[in-house]
Amino acid sequence: MSFLPHPTPAPIPKTPAAKQIGILYTILLTAMAVGQLFNFPAFVVLFNSFAFPFPGWFNAMLPAFLIASEVFAIPFLLRMQLSPAFRWFSLFLGFLTAIIWLFVALWVITYYPLAKTIGFLGTDVHLVPGWWAVCMSLAFGILAVWAAWGLWPGKHAKK
């Protein structure tokens, strides 16, 4: 008898396209996390320069939390063997990553449209903020919803 949770295999995807969408979202999240971690101190300074309407400690923790949510969303998307609780947590982080990036993109184009970069790929790659960043963030959300639908961790109902 063990008190530790046992990993379980991922459910079978509803469609082959759902598995491919999960892999695509994984590639995007991995590229973003690597780019942001490559020059992490500058990424933190970039986020602090956006002056989000949160307390100072939250603004300091947001970049690290965002990168962590990008990384920990990947196990669900790759259908790794996980405990059921971590599978749900990873699914939630896939949504949360898209929501945070949508907020950041809307905030930056509203209050700091002359910023050098939005930060999708860190600070070394200069991606000028604009409506394309909002559309990209919405695309992340669509990928997260599609992957969640196709790779749902609950029991699939059989017809």
Residues shown for the chain: 159
Q: Could you tell me which of 50, 19, 51 has the C-alpha nearest to residue 119?
A: 50
Query: What is the reported pTM?
Result: 0.90
Return d(Cα 134, Cα 157) in angstroms, integer.
Answer: 35
Q: What is the pLDDT of residues 135-154, one digit of tens each?
A: 999 999 999 999 999 998 87
Q: What is the pLDDT of residues 109-138, one digit of tens each?
A: 999 988 999 999 999 999 999 999 999 999
Give the pLDDT mean for 4-19: 88
